[in-house]
Structure 1
Amino acid sequence: MPEGHTIHRAARRLRSVLAGNRLDRVDARGAQLVEARAAQRLQGAIVTAVEARGKHLLIHTDTGWSVRSHLRMDGAWHLYRRGEKWSKSRRRAWLVLGAGEWEAVNFDGPILQIQRTDDMLRNPVLTELGPDVLVEPFDDAEYLRRMRRAAGREIGDAVMDQRTIAGIGNIYKSESLFLTKVDPWVRVRDLSDGELVAIREVATRIMQDGVLDARAITYKGPGAPGRWAYGRSGEACRVCGTELLSRKQGINQRTTTWCLSCQLVGRGERQPDRVLPYPGAAPHDDDYVPRYDD
């Protein structure tokens, strides 16, 4: 499932060609419409905003109607110049928004709604979201309040709950817990506020990189760029050499990858130097300075 950085990246790209422009073509063959004429409400409308909220992408117009998209596992947003050949079959297009020389195309949905903006913004799937990990300034107090409500849950499960913190998915769960040396299987109640905030801060920084580089690269030390933990089950830990482990976690049984030797925080073993130089630096690279300019 696309994580928050993918949605923020898509929102940024769509915003660059849609915001402030009039929609001169709307084809909503796959969208879920709240009324038969909903798609027509977008025709001729001016796009006022394109935003990401967690894993939801919202397109607002001056007619008071909006689009909400959630890509799940298979959906995607593409941009094409008018007349350019599409990379996917037109039969897979759920929504086409044309504005001047550009077309924004949603392929394969699978959640795509057009409805009144006021009604959309009252939808519990949006109102119940936790603070977005990529929206600044981040509300750490609200994040901690929501985390403490999940005191009995394993931290690797809790950080994936969009009602607690919006935007973190499976890749960045494993990566942020590895980089903060937090055991993914300890309970939220076993972690201090400082440790919970450290997880969030690292997740924000590595996902900011992901907005700029869609590959979600977090490791940039010696050897090929890649990741610290996610997708490396059975391989050697880049820090200590221990074999990385993987196991299903949470009610959705998502895979968590971790190092049994490095990730000790929460087991009663506090490590004040637990956060590795970030983002993506080798453990010895203390002079690494991240750049976030676009």
Structure 2
Amino acid sequence: MPEGDTIHYAGNRMRPVLEGFVPDDLRTPHPRFTHDRWPERLKGRAIRSVDAHGKHLFLRFEGDLTIHSHLRMTGSWGVHRPGQRWKRAPRRAWLVMERAGHSVVQFDGPVLELLTESRTRFDQRLAALGPDPIREDYDERVFLRRLREDDPTRPIGDALLDQRTVAGMGTVWRAEACHMVGIDPHRPTGQVGDDDALELVRSVRPAMQECARISPMRRPKAVYGRAGKPCPRCATLVKGGTLWEDNRPVYWCPGCQR
């Protein structure tokens, strides 16, 4: 699943093309949108802002309408220059916006919906999102409070993936944060002190912001995906496995992660 830096990066690429402008063309070629009339409802409306929160992207139009996207495991955003070949087949496009020769395309959904602005504020899925470390308004006090409201027996590595606690962190950033701070991701959250908990996000926040600006391909990967290879810090072989109820992949160094 794309992590928060990927979504912010997509938003940063879209913003110069779309923000403040009325799209020259907007269409929804996927059959599921046959009766939704998005082109008619959004015709002539400028896009006021393009912004991201965690793994969610919002295109806010004039007139209290917002396109909300969550890519889950299959979706992708593409921003294509004039004449540039699309990154996926046109038949996989769910939303296409054209402006000044550029094409902004959402491929393969699966969450793509047109909401009123008020609904985006009161929708429980969105209202429950935790603070986003990539955003300037990230509030680590809210992160810590929500972490402490959670099950203290839950492994800290699993708690970091809960989007209600901190929005946008996925398995890559979870692995790197735990490695940077020297904490075994299996350690129960209740046994992680406040300073260490805050440092888990602080340690990766600058890199997350840099990847959102430049490219998610610049992510550090000291342990993620490196099972059986030496830890760059202590040379102990990195371990890999799955963690807690969701069984999502986890990587750690048993030598320097307590």
TM-score normalised by length of structure 2 = 0.93
Taking a change above 3 Å as real, the CA distance of residues 25 and 193 of structure 1, as seen in their structure-2 partners, is same
The SS at the match of 2:256 is coil
Q: Which residue matches 1:71?
A: 71
For 2:254 and 2:60, how far apart are their aligned partners in 1? 46
For 2:240 and 2:165, how far apart are their aligned partners in 1? 24
Matches within 5 A, 1:134-153: 134-150=134-150, 151-153=152-154
For 1:166 and 1:251, how far apart are their aligned partners in 2? 19
**Which sits farther off after the overlay, 125-134 or 21-30?**
21-30
For 1:31 and 1:194, how far apart are their aligned partners in 2? 50
Q: Does 1:22 pair with 2:28?
A: no
For 1:164 and 1:30, how far apart are their aligned partners in 2? 34
Aligned-residue sequence identity (percent) comes to 34
**Which sits farther off after the overlay, 59-68 or 37-46?**
37-46
For 1:37 and 1:213, how far apart are their aligned partners in 2? 34
Q: Which residue matches 2:52?
A: 52
The CA deviation at 1:83 is: 4.8
Q: Which residue matches 2:245?
A: 251
Deviations 1:32-56 (A, max 9, x none): 66x7334422222100000001000
The CA deviation at 1:156 is: 0.3
The CA deviation at 1:142 is: 0.8
Taking a change above 3 Å as real, the CA distance of residues 257 and 84 of structure 1, as seen in their structure-2 partners, is closer
Q: Does 1:228 pair with 2:214?
A: no
Is residue 27–residue 38 contact of structure 2 (8 Å, CA) maintained in 1?
A: no
One-letter amino acid of the structure 1 residue matched with residue 20 of structure 2? G
Query: What root-mean-square deviation, in Å, do the aligned CA atoms of Structure 1 and Structure 2 show?
Result: 1.8
Q: Which residue matches 2:95?
A: 95
One-letter amino acid of the structure 1 residue matched with residue 237 of structure 2? E
Deviations 1:200-249 (A, max 9, x none): 1012122123222321431xxxxxxxx21001001111111111111111
Unmatched segments (≥5 aa) in structure 2: none
The CA deviation at 1:190 is: 0.6
Q: Does 1:182 pair with 2:187?
A: no
Matches within 5 A, 1:109-188: 109-150=109-150, 151-188=152-189
The CA deviation at 1:125 is: 1.5
The CA deviation at 1:72 is: 1.3
One-letter amino acid of the structure 1 residue matched with residue 216 of structure 2? A
The SS at the match of 1:203 is helix
Taking a change above 3 Å as real, the CA distance of residues 67 and 179 of structure 1, as seen in their structure-2 partners, is same
The SS at the match of 1:215 is helix
For 1:118 and 1:31, how far apart are their aligned partners in 2? 27
One-letter amino acid of the structure 2 residue matched with residue 214 of structure 1? P
For 1:84 and 1:141, how far apart are their aligned partners in 2? 44
For 1:251 and 1:122, how far apart are their aligned partners in 2? 29
Is residue 28–residue 38 contact of structure 2 (8 Å, CA) maintained in 1?
A: no
Unmatched segments (≥5 aa) in structure 1: 219-226, 265-294
Q: Does 1:260 pair with 2:224?
A: no
Taking a change above 3 Å as real, the CA distance of residues 69 and 254 of structure 1, as seen in their structure-2 partners, is same
